[in-house]
Structure 1
Amino acid sequence: MEFKESILVEREDVTEQLLPGQLATLHCKHCHTVLGDSLSVCGELPCLESVICLKVTKDVVVSDEMDLGRNGKLANCIFRHLACGKCGRALGKSLMATPPHLATLRSLFLLRKTQVTCYVLDSCAVVKASAVSFRFEPLTEDMDEAKQKFKAHLKAMKKWQANGINSLDK
């Protein structure tokens, strides 16, 4: 949904990339309770159609009981169920113990994209989380570029020092 001339209208399903630094809030699809925000999102898990969050709001209830995944993608995983604290609907899982290939997901919150909507702040649009890509590009290229710039700057500073020029005088 989005505002068009002060009227809230249904938004077409268009896949959007949530860009780094773009702010959004995550809401329960059923009661619109705030579950988290884009600052706590650290990616998505396409095989489980889930958004991976470092933290969620206090309105996400983490079950006390642990469950064991017996088959499928979560086979041999011990997890807790997540539910909306307002409407009680199931939202996802938090993995407690996993096989080695899922170790990076331990203690994180996996919110099912089918149960979540996103309010994107800069566009004032409410979109289905399933229509948003939460994949983040690796920083290796940016880091390599920054490393090259740093080396060039260091080389220039050494040259200035060798010539007796103080870079602060410029």
Structure 2
Amino acid sequence: MVKVVSCLAADLEMESVDDLTKVIDSIQDSGLSGESVNAERDDDNAVFLCSKCKRPLGDTCGWKGSDPEEHCIMLKAVSTYVTVEKEQVLSKQPSEYGCIFENLLCSGCNSIIGKIYRCTPKQFDFKRDLFCLDVDAVDSYIFGSASQQAVPESEEPVLFENRMALEEEIEKAKAVLAVLQCKLASLETSLLHDKG
């Protein structure tokens, strides 16, 4: 499967572009503004990066959908690292007959990362004037997917609030240990006297 879908699907436990589309569409259909989506659904937000130079190209806040047949994701907005070629091209692919588009370039490495359709037949109107990023040219980072921690939760440092209680427990343990040590010493002494 293509890279961006694989990354997103693995992190969100999905298997296809359709599953990813459903999740992102459900976020946007919930009627939340982009700001609210960020606050309430950080686990579903992602940043799309150029697969060659890793510059950020866009994010799921600009998500409009995907086209699994063409292996592209469609965004209504992209970052300033995406440049649009001025030259318009008439598509020569049979699946896009009659489409006029402009190539999208990553300004960091000048690689072609997708298209923006300017003129389309009726069946492709859903793509017109959207940034269609080729999933083979895009990597992604899912917010909240980082798993490495500087201090594991099981080894959290002792805080000042807990220090007094911890010191009391240590003193109790020392007292019990001292009593046990005295009993052991008296047992050893009585055993030595019984043998002797």
User: TM-score by structure 1 length?
Assistant: 0.62
Q: Which residue of 2 aligns with 1:47?
A: 69
SS of equivalent residue, structure 1 residue 47: coil
Pick from 107, 118, 124 the counterpart of residue 129 of structure 2: 107
The answer to whether the 8 A contact 1:47-1:73 is kept is: no
Q: Which residue of 1 aligns with 2:50?
A: 28
Pick from 92, 115, 121 the counterpart of residue 93 of structure 1: 115
> In the TM superposition, what is the alpha-carbon distance from 1:71 to its structure 2 partner?
2.9
1:120 aligns with 2:133: no
> In the TM superposition, what is the alpha-carbon distance from 1:30 to its structure 2 partner?
0.6
Q: Which residue of 2 aligns with 1:6?
A: none
The amino acid that maps onto 1:26 is F
SS of equivalent residue, structure 1 residue 36: strand
Q: Which residue of 1 aligns with 2:101?
A: 79
Greater strand share, structure number:
1
Pick from 61, 73, 84 the counterpart of residue 62 of structure 1: 84
> In the TM superposition, what is the alpha-carbon distance from 1:82 to its structure 2 partner?
0.4
SS of equivalent residue, structure 1 residue 83: strand
Residue ranges of structure 2 left out of the alignment (5+ in a row): 1-6, 28-40, 148-196
RMSD value over aligned CA atoms? 1.8
Q: Which residue of 1 aligns with 2:161?
A: none
Q: Which residue of 2 aligns with 1:162?
A: none
CA distance in structure 1 between the partners assigned to 2:105 and 2:94 by the alignment: 21
SS of equivalent residue, structure 2 residue 87: strand
Listed as ranges, the matches of 1:129-148 within 5 Å are none
The amino acid that maps onto 1:91 is I
User: TM-score by structure 2 length?
Assistant: 0.54
Structure number, greater radius of gyration? 2
Identity of aligned residues (%): 27
> In the TM superposition, what is the alpha-carbon distance from 1:41 to its structure 2 partner?
1.1
> In the TM superposition, what is the alpha-carbon distance from 1:105 to its structure 2 partner?
1.1
CA distance in structure 2 between the partners assigned to 1:62 and 1:107 by the alignment: 12
> In the TM superposition, what is the alpha-carbon distance from 1:75 to its structure 2 partner?
1.3
> In the TM superposition, what is the alpha-carbon distance from 1:70 to its structure 2 partner?
2.5
